[in-house]
Structure 1
């Protein structure tokens, strides 16, 4: 593997600190821990999945002390020009695909309808909760595997997206539902009244499902509870829940990070890092996301030149010149 990098002109460091020595721009997968910041060059530009709403205490101070321009990949704005840089979308796509593959594997039965001389095998019923990038890919994968798919989301735009993939949309479509999407395309926090109505609808539907994929996340907040313990107890033995939000508290309170829990015959899987189960593809796509940023941080001659007038840079920048500049992480 090292030879492949060397063939492209890269120098292999003895460790992370050695590799970063003298760098103007540092690319990382995860943001650095406070202890790692000392190894970063003063004044460098850092791009990483910073997990900006759960920053380690003291991290911003450590970055500012070295005047590092830290940019959070999670804050890539949802505009056409930034699509090639959107790491959340590229990784969520893979996570949605893998969630369905894992769910089908744990389910352990045939996904499509099969008609044989010995009898008919009914198709698996799949319910996807949360129809963002990950949810849409989970739906598409479930359909390709032959499952009968239903899906739900609080965003009105999701209804058409679900139908376009051949799945059935299920939701409480009241006035609050019609205004449940932010300007950035994310789901808003719904009122307790709406959540109660949606939970009632979900409870009656989930009892008949074989595989449930939950994907609902709200930036900066704990994941909403979509599947309660009471709902799990109504599900058929042998059915499966894949909780994609387990790293942010989970959409099911019974899920545990990186474990498969058996509750009355219902298996609940909490995979905290699904893209890592497709390492070659997740690495390749993330590298392309990072590469797409280079024109925004370099001049035509290749020298470091962070374009702070660019709306993409402005949205993503956390720290610069010794100051925290992003209002979303100041509080």
Structure 2
């Protein structure tokens, strides 16, 4: 099969708001050693894409400058050492960048087969969130059956995934969200208690339950000291984003006295080897959850590739429930 020389894509014309996302034509990339080229059918839209667009999240060295950290489609070409895959295989993959395009490169070990029972549209929503949730909630956070787990932003792509994975692990799940509609979505996914943060105090609710054993937070800012108060003795807080800011005053005496753990991570800057390990874990542990129906991507909306600016506006307006995709 002969590949075209150029492709449609979406570039970041300059740092700024959604309007700086512009359609463009660029060369089709060529897979190097250990890489595959994916003909993209759908690309997931994620918060890190908006951070990159704003100039706050640079691509790692050697990665495409185009946004887009996950996609699903067919393998279009295989570089030397990409032996698991052959042209025509249907895959979804974590990408170092470049998903907002007709073709995207990724290390072969970061691609996964489409889970049983899912189409490409739904599969495009899984890699970024599943890698993030599994690595932070289960591996870093150590969530176990019977523990109390709180996720903030329960109706987001990360939140809807975290609720389902935590429920499948056997944890008691609590979630915060900003409206009754979003709280109902959290309950339907398996949260035993959905907390409308505009009307209720998650600290008081979790304290009444004995405290959270693990909290997954992407808000930061004023939530940090409140999270510490909401934790049980020897509880863990895992920070994965800072929508409200990175700097805060915190009384660490409470951390010492109750033997709390505060940790966190970002996925994109980690090594290819680390992400390959996550891929193997996700395929072995999370894909069976998808096959059994215990985990399903929650879909909010679909936009065309040329409508990437509208997709970002939808995401940053925070009215969405679940994932937003671009149909390429």
Taking structure 2 as the reference length, the TM-score comes to 0.45
Larger fraction in helix: 1
Larger fraction in strand: 2
Greater Rg by CA: 1
